[in-house]
Amino acid sequence: MPRSKVVQDPVHGSIEVDGVFLEIMDRHEMQRLRSVKQLGLGNLVFPAANHTRFEHCLGTYHLAGRMADAIGLDREDSDAVRMAGLLHDICHPPFSHALEPIMEEATGLDHMELARALIKGDIPNHLPESDDILGGLPTMAEIMESQGISADDVCGIIAYPESTGEEALDRFWNKHEYFPSKDYAHQIIHGPVDADQMDYLMRDAHHTGVSHGSIDSERLIKTMMVQNDRIVLRRGGITAAEGLMVSRSLMYTTVYFHETVRIAQRMLTKAVEGSGLDLSDIYLRGDSDLMSMVAASGGKPSRNVRRVAARMLNKKAFAVYSEDMTDEKAEVLLEYTGREGARRLEDEIADAAGVDPFDVGAELTSSSNLQGRMRIGKTDVAIADEGGRIKSLARFSPIARSLQARDPYGWALLVSALESDRDAVRRAAQKVLGF
């Protein structure tokens, strides 16, 4: 009899984990995720947002299994999808998305590529100081393979499939061609209606106390089917799909792009970047571990992380909001998008204000948003009508059409500074940008 556990989850209720899934869940690589907050520094604004990547991965595993059952996957495919759900965030860095660019720069890989390497044992899976208890353990790939689960299939599902590209989607909508075999398996983790986003929207809403994340996951799952090798919803799922899109759009504005959280994140990232630490093993560390390392590094980085920990945050000095955007302003801001562009803007504003660039933060919306092409997730949910024809949700729903055009940020630029420098930085930002 394989081992089995029932885990009590505040979002999904009882989650059964058994056999090889329980063995992988108990691995040290998974246990690290207990020390990585799902919303990074979100708890500075939403005090109860202390939930972790570990519970999100467990919830994604649960929903992925239910989706696999709903569309009738066989045991082999179902096991691969459930394992991918469990491990899809295995290499998220401390503070989750806030430090992803830093991790990519330090390791040369994004978190999904790192996950593939970690699962297969191509990179270290523990810190040297833990070698006495973790050295010599089999890789996660070896454990999976011993139980008949293909590690290649699991890693392939974790990585984004080619069929999410614009050219492939154009074939789907306009020519109804078939996609690569088993593309629906990828969609359970990375699709317009997937287990990953359903769990994080529901879980983040629960822990932040924000009501926008309420979605009808039962209805969504029960109306799923496979057509042309992709997951589509029957027409009866339209209202639930609309609810998902509303939830996603409002959660991005209210929680994920919250101004204070983004200011705190910029303080943290500048501290980590300026610490001089070797971050090649950042994917093996937790939030408090990294904070302690940066605090011990001394100087301005240490001061910044200690200020973040004490919630002594920089203040908003200047902002450009979506409703005030013009084509002329967008053209100016496009020159400063991306990591290097934001740093250049910080330097120019600091120079004009006569302050230390380290104490100036600039957060810009994406270039696609400035150009009016922003899409949160994959908004083209596929709906099968009574005749079996596949159409975009936007063809059925004016709500979906409106949400596709909605700016999820609410702002285009946030400039922050020490409270004592606030007025000088505001004037400098206006001067540099010509606004």
Return the HEC string of 387-418.
Answer: CCCEEEHHHHCHHHHHHHHCCCCCEEEEEEEC
3-state SS string for 159-205: CCCHHHCHHHHHHHHHHCCCCCCCHHHHHHHCCCCCHHHHHHHHHHH
212 and 318 share a domain? no
**Domain for residue 238, yes or no?**
yes
Q: Are 15 and 22 in contact (CB under 8 A)?
A: no
**Domain for residue 103, yes or no?**
yes
Reference 406, options 365, 431, 376; nearest CA is 376
Query: Domain range spanning residue 356?
Result: 314-374+409-435
Q: What is the CATH number of the domain that holds 206?
A: 1.10.3210.10
pLDDT tens, position by position, 28-84? 999 999 999 999 999 999 999 999 999 999 999 999 999 999 999 999 999 999 999
**pLDDT at residue number 394:** 85
**Domain for residue 232, yes or no?**
yes
87 and 18 share a domain? yes
pLDDT over threshold 80, residue 110: yes
370 and 225 share a domain? no
**pLDDT at residue number 372:** 63
32 and 124 share a domain? yes
73 and 18 share a domain? yes
**pLDDT at residue number 422:** 97
66 and 192 share a domain? yes
325 and 401 share a domain? no
Looking from the CA of 424 toward its CB, the CA atoms found within 13 Å total: 16
Q: Judge residue 23's burial from the number of C-beta atoms within 10 Å of its C-beta, 0-12 exposed, 13-18 middle, 19 or more buried.
A: middle
**pLDDT at residue number 168:** 46
180 and 329 share a domain? no
What's the structural domain count of the chain? 2
415 and 400 share a domain? no
Task: Give the percent of the chain with pLDDT over 90.
Answer: 74
pLDDT over threshold 80, residue 177: no
d(CA 214, CA 243): 8
**Domain for residue 41, yes or no?**
yes
pTM for the predicted model, two decimal places: 0.92
**Domain for residue 14, yes or no?**
yes
> What's the mean pLDDT in 97-101?
91
Q: What is the secondary structure of 254-315 as a DSSP string?
A: IIIT-HHHHHHHHHHHHHHHHT----TTGGG--HHHHHHHHHHT-HHHHHHHHHHHTT---E
d(CA 333, CA 135): 50
pLDDT over threshold 70, residue 169: no
**Domain for residue 129, yes or no?**
yes
pLDDT tens, position by position, 396-408? 888 888 877 777 7
227 and 339 share a domain? no
Mean pLDDT of all residues belonging to the chain: 90
394 and 341 share a domain? no
**Domain for residue 19, yes or no?**
yes
- Return phi, psi of residue 279, to 5°: -105, 20
Q: Tell which wins on pLDDT, 326 or 312.
A: 312
**Domain for residue 22, yes or no?**
yes
Furthest-apart CA atoms within the chain: distance in Å: 71
34 and 62 share a domain? yes
